[in-house]
Amino acid sequence: MQREAYTPNTSASANQTSSSANPFPSQSADGKRPKVHYLCAMCEKDCYLAKDDPLRCHDCGHRIMKKTETKA
């Protein structure tokens, strides 16, 4: 005799609410990925990098980047 068997909720409405309630979406509403502002340590030029972009300056190729201060 089974005691307190676990039965997961498999209804369609439960699956829809869990996927649409994602607090950290991978893309913004317009379909573009959010980019972070960095400054190159060598040439001091602005670079905007997405999450999957390689950490390199677009102009000189230097790999040391300074993250600018974000204001909340």
Domain ranges of the chain: 33-72
Asked if pLDDT for residue 65 goes beyond 90, the answer is yes
- Report the candidate in 35, 40, 37, 32 with the shortest Cα–Cα distance to residue 56: 40
Question: Does an H or E element contain 42, and which?
Answer: none
The answer to whether residue 4 scores a pLDDT higher than 60 is yes
As a whole number of angstroms, the distance between CA 6 and CA 9 comes to 10
Q: What is the pTM of this model?
A: 0.50
**What mean pLDDT is predicted for residues 61-71?**
87
CATH for 33-72 (3.10.20.30, 3.30.70.1290, 2.20.28.30, 2.60.120.10) = 2.20.28.30
Q: Give the closest residue to 65 by CA, choosing from 43, 50, 32.
A: 43
pLDDT tens profile 8-54: 777 765 545 455 554 545 555 555 778 899 999 999 999 999 988 99
